[in-house]
Amino acid sequence: MASEGRPSLPRLVFSKTKEYGAAALQRYRNLNTYQKLFVWGTICLYLSLATLFIVIGPDRIGQALYNFAQRISHFRFGWLILTAIFFVISFPPAVGHTTLITLCGYAYGMKGFPIAAGGSLLGSAFTFVVLRLLFRRRLRKWSESHETWKALETVIAAKGLPLIMLIRASPFPPWVYSNALFASIRPVALWQFFLATFVVFPKIAIFVFVGSRLADLSDGETRSHMDTTTKILNVSISVGGVVIAALASWIIYRLMKREILHLKGVPPEVDELAAEAIEEAEEGAPLLGPHSESRARYDDSSA
């Protein structure tokens, strides 16, 4: 029985679901037409993939993915092909970073970890340099006219590498928009971004491992030689790995938001604006998002 004054678990879940649903709806309403079309396009894409998965069947899809991964692994420079793809998907608005990491596990087992880690590190660093060089002038304009971004730069400059690493490890903004986010923040140096990217290596290792387990389950011949216990164990390990990665990502995200909102020596209003800037980054701002009306400038004298 729930203690007096404390809501029961179902009511708490309902309350949180309602709260996050209302926040998501409000954010959707604030999007422009292009961004709304992108949201609906993404929804349609995932619905199409889910339909395709149901119609074709998981066995045939898994076998096709396994065969494709094995062809890559037998190429002399298969690892180089995967690395090149990491460079491509590191630029917004591309998607597929986690899928490609899993594919490394499919193709090479745990030996695919250096490929996934190296491709992620070098691809994101290349994206950082290119975006910063291409959008240097636009970045300066955005920073000077948007109080949220100016607040984020203030917070990053105050906390430095530890906060950069925490934001990098967070699942929001997603990988590809995280690359654009850090390229957008002038106080972040390339060496800081490079070092911060190492914190995602444990997550990469988990998904490479999950890919190696799924590869055994996807191949019909390998699966036919497994007993029921081994199959259940492989499925449990794969699902458990994904759940652990998701749970860890959520905890890190909450810690990151809490760190930003309660940074010592920085006014609360600046913390709140910095947290809002993190959410804007999910929409590709400021490098890739459309220009919006300039907001009031953050006045350093009010800090």
- From CA 153, how far away is CA 146, in angstroms rounded? 11
pLDDT score, position 7: 63
Same domain for 250 and 278: yes
Structural domain contains residue 2: no
Q: Given pLDDT bands bounded at 50, 70 and 90, which one contains residue 168?
A: confident
Same domain for 192 and 164: yes
Burial 1-23 (b: 16+ CB within 10 A, else e): eeeeeeeeeeeeeeeeeeeeeee
Same domain for 46 and 188: no
pLDDT score, position 173: 77
Same domain for 152 and 21: no
Structural domain contains residue 200: yes
For the cut 60, the answer to whether the pLDDT of residue 4 exceeds it is: no
- From CA 262, how far away is CA 227, in angstroms rounded? 53
Q: What is the mean pLDDT of the chain?
A: 77
Percent of the chain with pLDDT over 90: 21
pLDDT in tens, 209-223: 988 888 887 776 766
Cis ω before 286 (30° cut-off from 0): yes
- From CA 17, how far away is CA 59, in angstroms rounded? 34
Same domain for 207 and 194: yes
Structural domain contains residue 303: no
pLDDT score, position 90: 92
Count of domains in the chain? 2
Cis ω before 58 (30° cut-off from 0): no
Structural domain contains residue 302: no
- From CA 217, how far away is CA 208, in angstroms rounded? 15
Structural domain contains residue 81: yes
pLDDT score, position 265: 62
Same domain for 65 and 27: no
Same domain for 243 and 101: yes
Domain that holds residue 94: 58-297
For the cut 50, the answer to whether the pLDDT of residue 294 exceeds it is: no
pLDDT score, position 107: 92
pLDDT in tens, 218-247: 776 766 667 777 767 777 877 777 787 777
Same domain for 91 and 34: no
pLDDT score, position 117: 96
Same domain for 174 and 264: yes
Residue 72 — φ and ψ, nearest 5°? -65, -45
Q: Given pLDDT bands bounded at 50, 70 and 90, which one contains residue 118?
A: very high
Same domain for 157 and 36: no
**What pTM did the predictor assign?**
0.73
Structural domain contains residue 20: yes
pLDDT score, position 220: 66
